């Protein structure tokens, strides 16, 4: 009985040892594989998802720059070769011109090429057969190793060389029929795809698996078919798929899987179709790009030639993002942007609308055209333009004369090959495919007036209409999908807005009988409101800084006031100037309220007083920035404290302007100056200066308007009296040690001062005016 058990165990071991060996490298640590490196800083062979022959991952050795040349090995588990076994794997090489040595080695003696290098023999030189950035299949006949235990090792050597990728490793007998080839995607719609292939031999049956893109090679069989080409249906629009196919060989065997990927078209859109490109710079859903240069979806900050198109304040086209082709770089033919299919069967007069803007910058006229697919074929050049439009123009194309037989689509083409790296800027926005409305959209939308809570807009009627609808939305919102609020007013005043907020206002004509024109739009920000509450801004976070409420006025200075960040601290900076200028930095608007905003503080400094920096501190009217008062002239900003690094805090009294709406302005006109820096602006009650809100019982200070002598009378002995100016600087101190006395302030300059009095361990603060 024991002998039988032993024989069965040996048979089991022998059968398992001849099992096939495969590895798709989809797991981080492949079972049974060994990794070795000769240098400790060598990252070795590791998993990556940046490229794969199938599935989502492969193993690779990077081109990292390490300290010394290293040899790195990736070694398979031990495998006993059986008859007809063949070694196969896919490899990919990046930066092959920098390769040192990458190859495939076999050992029949050990699995350690570092300890026993002579045990391994190279069977394939990857460097000599580099497939730059392309996956290539390599197969190796193992008939010389039948019955032997082998180790297969992938070797990489270098310290700053190429990158080598390995995927889909296999040792197995070849299938009884060859693989299919030339798997091609013949046609694709929103819900079907047709593929074809070349049979590997005489087979007439195949299996296929259709699955989500990136799933990887199937682990089991698929659906049988004898049809080539093959159409698969029931797909979802705008979805990425992969299809695997293999030949069905005689005797129940199959060839290896081959695959291709594709993305279905978008589902047909029922008119009206609208694309305003407001998706943050990404390729719009269901639009297709082609040609030798991409369309770009960006706002005007990256489209310098066209200037302010598409941003707040532009009344001709959508705010925010739009599509354009820039004029820089080498260009060829057919830079194309295509819409999805649109069902216009319910439209009486199907029409294509869009805004066009071009700017030739003196190089050449624009070469722009529009083709329209009528359901069966493309109608080429239904619109062409070879002129500089200079500003946004709405283009209207009546499509009713086309032989429309199904869903339609449009493609926009910039087509230039004039032998130069520069041609025209071309931009489009607000593309629409819809029925022609019975009246036209209003034009020339204009912002007549704006406050912190209201805005007045006007427009030119598209025809004879006298009624309109309007919708107020947050800036950057999509075009309204439903109706708005009715009005017969033009101009129209909109109220209830929020201060310092950007809005889109859409307006369309009421054509009557339930029909409306297209929407027109204007974008604008409201003004900053007046605050009567304490305000503190350190400018370090967006939460306490709003650039719309702080205003910079640049009078010819190449380096005006600007926010900069240094060592994690954000502050206002005015840089060195060598030209005449008038630079203003205005605070937010606020009301001067006693005990609330009747004082303000800020930190000011100059990094290097070798070149003195002086500024004026002003109080200006909140309505028009006109001067009310000058609080400081040629204020010399000191360097930060040498020990603490702290900047000087400056404090000013605003109580003389109680009840007024004001702003604080920091002004500079000096040339050849150094740097001015401002931070930590705070509106606060004057009590922060220690004023008359903190008085001593039984103490009287008089007169409050002083020419020379300042007198006091106290029920307790006064130990100390100190006088400060509004910069916080001490200008007088004394220790009278008496109940009644006076101090002489005749040498002080006229202005407002704070007197601090100490008596019996208590302190009081008083405000006086020196004539």
332: domain CATH number is: 2.60.120.200
Single residue among 498, 525, 552 that ends a domain in this structure: 525
Task: Indicate whether 6 belongs to any domain.
Answer: no
In this structure, the answer to whether residues 194 and 223 fall within a common structural domain is yes
Pair (427, 447) in one structural domain? no
Residues 259 and 292 occupy one common structural domain: no
Token pair for residue 430? 């607000």
- For residues 274 and 258, membership in a common domain is answered with no
Q: Which domain holds residue 559?
A: 535-688
Do residues 79 and 177 lie in contact, with contact meaning Cβ atoms separated by under 8 Å?
no
- pLDDT 10s digits, 3-29: 333 322 333 333 333 358 989 998 888
Reported confidence tier of residue 610, pLDDT bands at 50, 70, 90: confident
Over residues 305-316, the mean pLDDT reads: 36
- Pick the residue with more confidence: 290 or 106? 106
Do 63 and 166 belong together in one domain?
yes
Question: Three-state DSSP class for 14?
Answer: helix
Name the percent of the chain lying above pLDDT 70: 84
Q: 105-114, 366-375, 576-585, 757-766 — which one is most confidently predicted on average? A: 105-114
pLDDT, tens digit, 9 for 90 and up, residues 213-252 = 988 889 889 999 999 999 999 999 989 999 999 999 887 8
pLDDT in tens, 475-492: 877 788 888 999 999 999
**More confident: 640 or 692:** 640
Q: Under DSSP, is residue 16 helix (H, G, I), strand (E, B) or coil?
A: helix
- pTM greater than 0.75: no
Residue 9 lies in a domain: no
Whether 454 and 541 share a structural domain: no
Q: Which of 572, 561, 447, 444 is nearest to 502 (CA)?
A: 447
Which of 378, 410, 435 is the endpoint of a domain? 435
Q: Is the pLDDT of residue 362 over 80?
A: no
297 shares a domain with 258: no
Instruction: Single out the residue in 688, 718, 740 at which a domain terminates.
Output: 688
E-strand spans in 76-215?
Answer: 79-80, 86-94, 101-107, 120-125, 136-141, 149-158, 163-172, 181-188, 193-198, 206-212
* 1-5, 128-132, 370-374, 388-392: least confidently modelled range: 1-5
Rounded mean pLDDT, 247-275: 89
Average pLDDT for the chain = 83
Angle at 494 between CA 492 and CA 499, to 5 degrees: 145
- What confidence tier does 682 reach under pLDDT thresholds 50, 70, 90? confident
Tell me the pLDDT band of 292, cut-offs 50, 70 and 90: low
Q: What pLDDT was estimated at residue 310?
A: 37
Q: What is the largest CA-CA distance in the chain?
A: 127
In degrees and rounded to multiples of 5, residue 192 shows phi and psi of -140, 160
Burial of 3 (0-12, 13-18, 19+ CB in 10 A): exposed
The predicted pLDDT at position 169 comes to 95
pLDDT in tens, 409-435: 999 988 765 544 445 567 888 899 999
> Predicted confidence band at 751 (pLDDT cuts at 50, 70, 90)?
confident
pLDDT at res. 452: 86
Q: Per the domain annotation, does 429 fall within a domain?
A: yes
The answer as to whether 324 is a domain residue is yes
**Domain-embedded: residue 72:** yes
Residue that the structure tokens 């062409």 belong to: 384
Q: Are 281 and 246 contained in the same domain?
A: no
pLDDT tier for residue 317 given thresholds of 50, 70 and 90: very low
CB 753 within 8 A of CB 653: no
Of 145-154, 235-244, 742-751, the least confident: 742-751
Residue 460: its pLDDT value, please? 93
The answer on 411 and 548 residing in a single domain is no
Same-domain check for residues 317 and 398: yes
Residues 52, 214: Cα–Cα separation, whole Å = 10
Which contacts qualify for 44-52: CB closer than 8 Å, 24 or more apart?
A: 44/72, 44/74, 45/72, 45/73, 45/74, 45/154, 45/156, 45/166, 48/165, 51/92, 51/165, 52/25, 52/167
The per-residue pLDDT for 662 is 92
Q: Which residue has the higher pLDDT, 640 or 761?
A: 640
How confident is the model over 511-537, as pLDDT tens digits? 988 889 988 888 888 888 876 555 778
Say whether both 167 and 111 belong to one domain.
yes
Q: Are residues 602 and 491 in the same domain?
A: no
Q: Is 80 exceeded by the pLDDT of residue 87?
A: yes
Looking from the CA of 242 toward its CB, the CA atoms found within 13 Å total 16
pLDDT at 127: 84
Distance in angstroms (rounded) separating the CA atoms of residues 625 and 620:
5
- Number of domain units in the chain: 6
pLDDT score of 367 more than 80: no
Q: Is residue 163 part of a domain?
A: yes
């Amino acid at each position: 009985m024991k002998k039988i058990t032993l024989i069965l165990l040996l048979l089991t071991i022998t059968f398992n040892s001849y099992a096939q060996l495969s590895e798709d490298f989809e797991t981080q640590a492949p079972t049974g594989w060994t990794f070795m490196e000769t240098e400790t800083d060598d990252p070795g062979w590791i998993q990556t998802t940046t490229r794969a022959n199938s599935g989502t991952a492969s193993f690779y050795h990077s081109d990292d720059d390490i300290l010394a040349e290293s040899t790195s090995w990736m070694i398979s588990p031990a495998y006993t070769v059986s008859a007809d076994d063949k070694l196969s794997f896919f490899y990919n090489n990046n930066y092959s011109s920098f390769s040192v040595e990458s190859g495939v080695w076999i050992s029949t003696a050990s699995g350690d090429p570092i300890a026993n290098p002579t045990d391994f023999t190279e069977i394939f030189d990857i460097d000599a057969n580099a497939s730059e950035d392309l996956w290539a299949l390599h197969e190796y006949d193992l008939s010389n190793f039948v019955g032997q235990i082998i180790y297969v090792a992938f070797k990489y050597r270098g310290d700053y060389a190429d990158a080598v990728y390995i995927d889909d490793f296999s040792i197995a007998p070849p299938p009884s029929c060859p693989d299919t080839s030339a798997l091609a995607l013949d046609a694709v719609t929103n819900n079907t795809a047709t593929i074809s292939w070349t049979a590997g031999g005489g087979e007439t049956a195949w299996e296929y698996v259709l699955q989500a893109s990136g799933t990887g090679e199937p682990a089991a069989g698929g659906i049988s078919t004898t049809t080539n080409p093959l159409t698969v249906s029931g797909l979802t629009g705008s979805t990425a798929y992969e299809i695997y196919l293999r030949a069905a060989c005689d005797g129940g065997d199959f060839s290896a899987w081959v695959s291709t990927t594709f993305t279905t078209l978008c589902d047909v859109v029922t008119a009206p179709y609208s694309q305003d490109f407001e998706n943050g710079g990404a390729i719009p859903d269901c639009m297709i790009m082609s040609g030798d240069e991409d369309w770009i979806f960006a706002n005007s900050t990256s489209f310098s030639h066209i200037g302010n198109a598409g941003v707040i304040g532009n009344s001709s086209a959508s705010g925010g993002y739009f599509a354009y082709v820039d004029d820089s770089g080498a260009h060829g033919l057919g830079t194309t942007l295509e819409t999805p299919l649109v069902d216009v069967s319910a439209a009486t007069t199907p029409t294509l609308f869009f805004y066009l803007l071009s700017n030739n910058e003196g190089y050449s006229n624009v070469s722009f055209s529009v083709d329209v697919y009528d359901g069966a074929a493309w109608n080429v050049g239904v619109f062409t333009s070879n002129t500089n439009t200079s500003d946004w123009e709405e283009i209207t194309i009546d499509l009713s004369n086309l032989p429309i037989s199904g869903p339609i689509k449009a493609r926009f083409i910039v087509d230039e090959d004039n032998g130069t790296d520069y041609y025209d800027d071309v931009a489009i926005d607000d593309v629409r495919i819809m029925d022609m409305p019975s009246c036209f959209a209003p034009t020339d939308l204009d912002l007549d007036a704006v406050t912190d809570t209201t805005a007045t807009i006007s427009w030119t009627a598209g025809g004879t209409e006298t009624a309109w609808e309007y919708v107020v939305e947050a800036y950057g919102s999509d075009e309204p999908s439903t109706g708005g609020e009715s009005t017969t007013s033009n101009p129209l005043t909109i109220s209830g807005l929020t201060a310092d907020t950007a809005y889109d206002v859409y307006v369309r004509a009421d054509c009557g009988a339930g029909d409306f024109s297209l929407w027109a739009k204007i974008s604008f920000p409201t003004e900053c409101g007046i605050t009567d509450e304490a305000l503190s801004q350190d400018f370090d976070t967006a939460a306490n800084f709003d650039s719309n409420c702080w205003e910079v006025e640049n009078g010819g200075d190449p380096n005006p006031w600007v926010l900069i960040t240094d060592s994690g601290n954000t502050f206002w900076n005015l840089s060195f100037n060598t030209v005449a200028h008038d630079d203003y930095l205005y605070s937010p608007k606020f009301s001067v309220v006693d005990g609330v905003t009747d004082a303000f503080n800020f930190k000011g400094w100059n990094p290097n007083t070798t070149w003195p920096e002086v500024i004026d501190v002003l109080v200006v009217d909140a309505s028009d920035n006109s001067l009310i008062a000058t609080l400081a002239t040629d204020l010399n900003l000191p360097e930060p404290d040498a020990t603490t690094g702290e900047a000087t805090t400056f404090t000013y009294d605003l109580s003389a302007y109680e009840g007024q709406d004001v702003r604080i302005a920091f002004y500079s006109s000096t040339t050849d100056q150094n740097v001015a820096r401002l931070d930590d602006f705070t509106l606060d009650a004057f009590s922060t200066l220690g004023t008359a809100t903190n008085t001593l019982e039984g103490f009287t200070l008089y007169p409050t308007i002083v020419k020379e002598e300042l007198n006091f009378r106290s029920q307790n002995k006064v130990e100390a009296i100190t006088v400060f100016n509004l910069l916080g600087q001490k200008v007088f101190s004394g220790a009278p040690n008496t109940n009644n006395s006076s101090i002489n302030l005749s040498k002080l300059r006229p202005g407002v001062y704070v007197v601090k009095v100490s008596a019996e361990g208590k302190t009081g603060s008083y405000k006086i005016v020196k004539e």
